[in-house]
A and B are shown apart, each in its own frame.
Chain A
Amino acid sequence: MQPMGIRAACVAAAATSVAIIAIVGATSSNLASAGESPMRVALQSDQSTPLAKMKADYRRPATIPFPKDNPYSVEKASLGKKLFFDTRLSAANILSCGSCHSPAYGWGDGQPTGVGHGMKKLGRRSPTIVNAAFGQIFMWDGRAGSLEEQALGPIRADVEMNLPVDQLIEKLKGIDGYRPLFQAVFPAQGIAPETIAKAIATYERTVVSNRAPFDAWIEGDETAISQEAARGFVLFNTKARCVDCHSGWNFTDDSFHDIGLASTDIGRAKIVPGIEKMKFAFKTPGLREISLRGPYMHDGSVPTLQAVMDHYNRGGIDRPSRSAQIKPLSLSKQESADLVAFMKTLNSDLAPTSAPLLPR
């Protein structure tokens, strides 16, 4: 485990006297309908209130998890950052991991779908790497079980960076400046596919969202978010049922769902055939920094957060594979607006990321 202060601001220890909030006029039995008329949120001292319990599920972890077989070191993360931003990891020398996972766009690329080798458009949107350290399965269809497993995939994919692994090794060995860096971090292996993957994965794990207004709010700062956003949080957990999939501090269950989008891409069903519910199913994305990461969905087909809410409100295409959690929500315009306001409180004050000096 590594303190989150590597990139992100250190997470404050749990406040000792957290002001607990309850919904005025709403009880546990009527929370599901809360938001139909704008409700007021006020301070209460009872820690057993439904809202307080909801908040408890979203507390930030204090440390970043690193796997036992690839522990963190400053030198390894530094090497990984150089590799991540080095365009020489592509056949054409113009694409790096950072081209599609750019800090300028919330660690995505701001495009509906990625752009790969030869400027060819890819089939799916570039997912963010923010908080990937906390992920348990990777890629939109879950075909990678770890960041180490994922790291080399786009480099060697002919439609992405198009650099076969043997050529990648040869190329890096030909750059004098990389050799001592690899020798220092991986003295027994040097430049190898496994060490490249481990270094990139280690750097990626340091990309963690900073504290957001939402974090301050659940820790007791009542002024941190608006009343509109506070109502949106309650809706998120009740009537809108977003929490069924967007759960936990990073707002994802790391699971796969068909949310009823029109698409010919069958998603996870290609990886795990024979399960109806996996047709058109894609991994639930986390929601941290979400308003910086549009357009939305696996194919970038939904331009704004308001349009996302419109989709979920309609319930998408009713088909056998559609998740049982997806159904029309009957949200009012105000409720949809409240939910969008809430999601915007998940943006942190991301510090600028400096470009590394690359070995020559």
Chain B
Amino acid sequence: MKPFTLVLLLAFAAGSATAYAAQVSISQKGKVFSQTELAVKKGDVVMFVNDDAVTHNVMSTSSGNTFNLGAQAPGVSLPFTFNNAGETVITCAIHPTMKLKVTVAN
């Protein structure tokens, strides 16, 4: 197989895989998330978009979906895939008054 064809096939395969997962966008603006609650399915990707003028962070210590996306400069979007069912409370380590409850269904 020619290298060019292989690249095309891999790209197609990757596109097919992500096509099954939904992507939701959550904005961070005015030191609040655009929603306070969100329902997604296992495997869905949530894109966190920093629409503020200050650095944010997205993290959770909820069991099953523990993560920390680090520093998120203004204008930067960061994705997170929820791979485990359950309730996940998300906050910003810099501005902990920001809270988002994500319910992940099977």
Interaction A to B: yes
Asked if A256 lies at the interface with its beta carbon under 8 angstroms from chain B, I say: yes
Closest to A244 in B: B54
CB <8 Å contact, A277 and B53:
no
A323 to B95, CA, bound (A): 12
CB <8 Å contact, A256 and B93:
yes
Q: List 24 A-B contacts (CB under 8 A).
A: A136-B97, A137-B97, A253-B31, A253-B95, A253-B97, A254-B95, A254-B96, A254-B97, A255-B97, A256-B93, A256-B94, A272-B57, A272-B59, A272-B68, A272-B93, A274-B70, A275-B57, A275-B93, A277-B71, A278-B94, A281-B94, A324-B53, A324-B54, A324-B55
Asked if A112 lies at the interface with its beta carbon under 8 angstroms from chain B, I say: no
A277 to B96, CA, bound (A): 14
Chain B nearest CB from A263 CB (Å) reads: 18
Closest to A275 in B: B71
Interfacial residues, chain A to chain B (CB-CB below 8 A)? 136-137, 142, 253-257, 268, 272, 274-278, 281, 323-325
Chain B nearest CB from A270 CB (Å) reads: 12
- Which range holds the interface residue count of chain B? 10 to 19
Q: Which of B31, B68, B96 contacts A274 (CB 8 A)?
A: B68
Other contacts beyond A254-B96, A255-B95, A256-B96: 6, CB < 8 A? A253-B31, A253-B97, A255-B31, A272-B68, A274-B70, A278-B94
Closest to B55 in A: A277
Q: Which residues of A contact B70 (CB under 8 A)?
A: 274-275
A84 to B54, CA, bound (A): 38
**Chain A facing B: main interface SS:** loop
Closest to B92 in A: A255
Q: Which residues of B contact A137 (CB under 8 A)?
A: 96-97
Q: Which residues of A contact B94 (CB under 8 A)?
A: 255-257, 275, 277-278, 281
Closest to A254 in B: B97
Q: Which residues of B contact A272 (CB under 8 A)?
A: 57, 59, 68, 93
Chain A nearest CB from B100 CB (Å) reads: 15
Chain B nearest CB from A57 CB (Å) reads: 12
Q: Which residues of B contact A256 (CB under 8 A)?
A: 93-96
A296 to B51, CA, bound (A): 33
Pick from A136, A254, A272, A323 the residue with the most CB of B within 10 Å.
A272
Closest to A248 in B: B97
Q: Which residues of B contact A255 (CB under 8 A)?
A: 31, 94-97
Contact with A along B48-65 (1 / 0, CB 8 A): 000001110101000000
Closest to A274 in B: B70
Q: Which residues of B contact A253 (CB under 8 A)?
A: 31, 95, 97
Chain A nearest CB from B89 CB (Å) reads: 11
CB <8 Å contact, B93 and A268:
yes
* Given A255-B31, A272-B59, A277-B71, A325 contacting B97 (CB threshold 8 A): no
A268 to B95, CA, bound (A): 12
